[in-house]
C-alpha cells in the first residue's frame, strides 16, 4: 500500500509551526564562536559554531551592538525561525554580547591586568624548553582523556621519554591548592626536565582554579619550565600568560615538548649519507688531482730528460769533432819531435828526427829537406 504523500510546502509549513509553537525555544541564549560576520543595510548576517555544529544567525538591529570579530566567543539571545521559502533554519537574534562578561570574567580581567603590571607575563622571565627531555612531569587528573592523550603522543614520538603524573583535581575549591603543591613537588624532583599542567575544556567556572593569583605565583617562581594546556584552543586562563609556553591542547603540549625521535633518526641518517657522499666526492676529486699532478710531473721530468739528453748529444758531437783520433781517421797525422808537438815546418830542420802518428801506428823518419809555404 502506497504511503500518503505531502508537498514540500506542507512539510515546510509543518516544521515552521512546530518551531514557532515551541515555548522552550523562545528567547533563548546560545553561546558559540563567531564564524563570518557581515552587515547589509543595517542587518547583520553571521554564524556561531562549536566543535560539532554551526548555527546561522540574523541580527536586525545590529547598530545597537558592537560588531564581534571572527573567532570571538559570544552569547546570542533570540529565537530560531524556519524560513519556508528558502528551506532554511536561522536564529533571529535580538541581542549579542561577549561571552563571560559576568563577575567571574571581570575578576579574571582585573587579575590579568594586575599581574601584567607586576611583570608576571614579561617575556624576559620565560624559560626555554629542553630540546631532548628525558622525563616529563604532568599535573592533571589521573582519569579522563587528557593524560591518555599525552601518553599516546609522547610514546609515539619518543618512547624513551618517561612521564611522571602528579594526580590532582582540576576543578573545584581545592583544585588550585593541589595544582600548586604539584608544581612545588616537581621543582624539588631533580630528574624532571619540564612540567605540563593540563586539563580538558570547560566553562569559565570549571577553569577557575587556573585563574587565581596563587597559581600564577606558583608558575612564576618555578625553576622548571612549564607548559600550560588548559581547556580548548579558544580558552585562555591566567596560567597561560604566566607559563613559559601555552599549548592549545594537552596533545599539542606533548607534541611541543617531545622531539620526534623517528624524525631525528631519519635526519641523522640523511646527514650521515650526505657526509659520506661528500667525503667520497672529496676523495675522488683528490685522486683525480693527484693523477693530474703525477701526469704533469712525469711530463715535466720526461721533457727535462729529453732536453738534457739533446744538450749532451750536442756537446758529445762537438767533442767528437775535436777528438784527435777522429781527425787521424781522415788521413791526417800527428807530428812529434823530442816529445813535442810540431805544428810548423819551421820547427824541423834537415836531418832532424821526428815521429808521425797515424790512426794505426807510428812512423819514425828524418827530415831530408824543408820547404816553407808563404
pLDDT computed for residue 323 by the predictor: 65
Same domain? For 116 and 167 the reply is yes
Long-range contacts of 352-357 (CB under 8 A, 24+ apart): 357/328, 357/333
Asked whether residue 305 is assigned to any structural domain, the reply reads yes
pLDDT computed for residue 279 by the predictor: 86
Q: Decide if 54 contacts 88 (C-beta within 8 A).
A: no
Nearest 10 degrees: CA dihedral of 248, 250, 253, 258? Answer: -150
pTM across the whole model: 0.51
Nearest to 219 by CA among 167, 184, 174, 169: 184
Residue 40's beta-bridge partner residues? 43
Alpha helices in the chain (DSSP H): 8-21, 103-117, 145-157, 175-187, 213-220, 238-242, 250-257, 261-322, 324-329
CA 209 to chain centre: 37
Q: Decide if 111 contacts 213 (C-beta within 8 A).
A: yes
Expressed as residue numbers, the domain containing 346 is 326-366
Nearest to 108 by CA among 12, 201, 211: 211
Over residues 179-192, mean pLDDT = 94
Same domain? For 202 and 247 the reply is yes
| pLDDT bracket for residue 199 (50, 70, 90) | very high
Asked whether residue 53 is assigned to any structural domain, the reply reads yes
Asked whether residue 208 is assigned to any structural domain, the reply reads yes
Of residues 176 and 202, the one with the higher pLDDT is 176
Same domain? For 93 and 181 the reply is no
pLDDT computed for residue 374 by the predictor: 65
Same domain? For 225 and 267 the reply is no
Q: Please say if the pLDDT value at position 98 is more than 90.
A: no
Asked whether residue 68 is assigned to any structural domain, the reply reads yes
Same domain? For 234 and 285 the reply is no
pLDDT computed for residue 330 by the predictor: 67
Same domain? For 247 and 139 the reply is yes
Same domain? For 337 and 307 the reply is no
Report angle CA 166, 246, 51 to the nearest 5 degrees.
95
Q: What is the CATH number of the domain that holds 222?
A: 3.40.50.261
pLDDT digits (tens, 9 = 90+) for 33-70: 998 899 999 999 999 998 888 999 999 989 888 888 88
Q: Decide if 153 contacts 254 (C-beta within 8 A).
A: yes
| pLDDT bracket for residue 113 (50, 70, 90) | very high
Same domain? For 114 and 249 the reply is yes
pLDDT digits (tens, 9 = 90+) for 294-327: 888 888 888 888 888 888 888 777 776 666 666 6
Q: How many domains does the chain have?
A: 4
Over residues 119-136, mean pLDDT = 93
pLDDT digits (tens, 9 = 90+) for 222-261: 999 999 999 887 778 999 999 999 999 999 999 998 875 5
Q: Decide if 18 contacts 11 (C-beta within 8 A).
A: no
Which of 14-18, 102-106, 116-120, 328-332 shows the lowest per-residue confidence on average (mean pLDDT)?
328-332
DSSP secondary structure of 303-335: HHHHHHHHHHHHHHHHHHHH-HHHHHHTT--EE
Amino acid at each position: 500500500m502506497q504511503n500518503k504523500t505531502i508537498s514540500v510546502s506542507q512539510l515546510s509549513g509543518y516544521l515552521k509551526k512546530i518551531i514557532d509553537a515551541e515555548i522552550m525555544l523562545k528567547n533563548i541564549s546560545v553561546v558559540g564562536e563567531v564564524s563570518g560576520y557581515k552587515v547589509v543595510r543595517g542587518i547583520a548576517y553571521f554564524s556561531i559554531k562549536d566543535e560539532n555544529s554551526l548555527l546561522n544567525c540574523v541580527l536586525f538591529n545590529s547598530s545597537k551592538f558592537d560588531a564581534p570579530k571572527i573567532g570571538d566567543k559570544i552569547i546570542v539571545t533570540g529565537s530560531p525561525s524556519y524560513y519556508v521559502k528558502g528551506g532554511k533554519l536561522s536564529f533571529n537574534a535580538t541581542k549579542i554580547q561577549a561571552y563571560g562578561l559576568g563577575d567571574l570574567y571581570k575578576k579574571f580581567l582585573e587579575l590579568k591586568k594586575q599581574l601584567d603590571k607586576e611583570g608576571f607575563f614579561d617575556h624576559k622571565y620565560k624559560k626555554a624548553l629542553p630540546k631532548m627531555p628525558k622525563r616529563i612531569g604532568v599535573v592533571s587528573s589521573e582519569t579522563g582523556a587528557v593524560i591518555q592523550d599525552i601518553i599516546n603522543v609522547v610514546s609515539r614520538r619518543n618512547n624513551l621519554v618517561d612521564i611522571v603524573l602528579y594526580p590532582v583535581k582540576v576543578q573545584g575549591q581545592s583544585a588550585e591548592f593541589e595544582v600548586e603543591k604539584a608544581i612545588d613537588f616537581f621543582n624539588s624532583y631533580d630528574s624532571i626536565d619540564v612540567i605540563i599542567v593540563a586539563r580538558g575544556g570547560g566553562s569559565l567556572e570549571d577553569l577557575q582554579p587556573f585563574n587565581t593569583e596563587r597559581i600564577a605565583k606558583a608558575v612564576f617562581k618555578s625553576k622548571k619550565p612549564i607548559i600550560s594546556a588548559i581547556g580548548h584552543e579558544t580558552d585562555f586562563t591566567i596560567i597561560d600568560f604566566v607559563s613559559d609556553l601555552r599549548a592549545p591542547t594537552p596533545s599539542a603540549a606533548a607534541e611541543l615538548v617531545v622531539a620526534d625521535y623517528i624524525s631525528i633518526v631519519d635526519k641523522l641518517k640523511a646527514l650521515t649519507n650526505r657526509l659520506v657522499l661528500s667525503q667520497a666526492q672529496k676523495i675522488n676529486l683528490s685522486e683525480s688531482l693527484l693523477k693530474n699532478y703525477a701526469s704533469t710531473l712525469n711530463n715535466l721530468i720526461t721533457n727535462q730528460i729529453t732536453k738534457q739528453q739533446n744538450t749532451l748529444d750536442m756537446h758529445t758531437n762537438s767533442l767528437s769533432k775535436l777528438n784527435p783520433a777522429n781527425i787521424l781517421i781522415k788521413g791526417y797525422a800527428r807530428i812529434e819531435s823530442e816529445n813535442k808537438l810540431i805544428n810548423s815546418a819551421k820547427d824541423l830542420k834537415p836531418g832532424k828526427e821526428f815521429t808521425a802518428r797515424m790512426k794505426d801506428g807510428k812512423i819514425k823518419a828524418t827530415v831530408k829537406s824543408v820547404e816553407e809555404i808563404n
